[in-house]
Amino acid sequence: MVALGLVNLALSLWRRDFTLSTGVLVGALLLLGVSSLLRSLSPQLSRQDKIEEQDERNILVNLKTRTSAFRWTRLVSFGLMALLLVAGAATGEELLLAIAVGLAFSLTISFFAEFFSALYHESKN
C-alpha cells in the first residue's frame, strides 16, 4: 500500500492534478501501508495477529459475515434482475434485458457453486 500511495502521489504531481481527494487517498494508503508494515515487523504484534486469526470465535464471526454478505448479494442481484426484466419488457429496451440475463447467469453460477461446495464439504466430513 505504501508503494501504491507513492506511485499515486508521483503520478498526480507529474500530471499536475493533485486535488483534495488525491491527497486523502494518498494519505490513507500511506497510513495503512506503514501501519501494516510496522505490525508485520514487530514480533509481538505478529504473534498477537496470528493468535487472533486462529481464534475460533473470530473464525465463526468471519464465516457468519461472509455468509450474510453472500445472501444479501444474492438477494439484491435477484431483485435487480427482476426489476430489469420488468423494465425491459415494459420499455422494449434490449440493453435492460441483456443486463438482466447477465445477472440471471451470475445467480445460476452462485447456486451451482453453493451446491458443489456443499457436496465437497459433506464428503470431507
List the Cα angle 64/70/55 in 5-degree steps.
25
Q: Are residues 61 and 106 in the same domain?
A: yes
66 and 117 inside one domain? yes
What domain range is 91 assigned to? 55-124
Residue 123, number of CB atoms within 10 A of its CB = 7
- pLDDT attached to residue 35: 87
Taking the chain (125 residues) in runs of 10, the rounded mean pLDDT of each run is 87 89 91 87 82 83 91 95 95 94 94 92 84
What was the pLDDT predicted at 65?
94
**Whole-angstrom distance, CA of residue 45 vs CA of residue 39:** 6
What is the structure's pLDDT at 124? Answer: 83
Global pTM? 0.60
60's grid cell: 465463526
Whether 99 and 119 map to the same domain: the answer is yes
Q: Are residues 63 and 47 in the same domain?
A: no
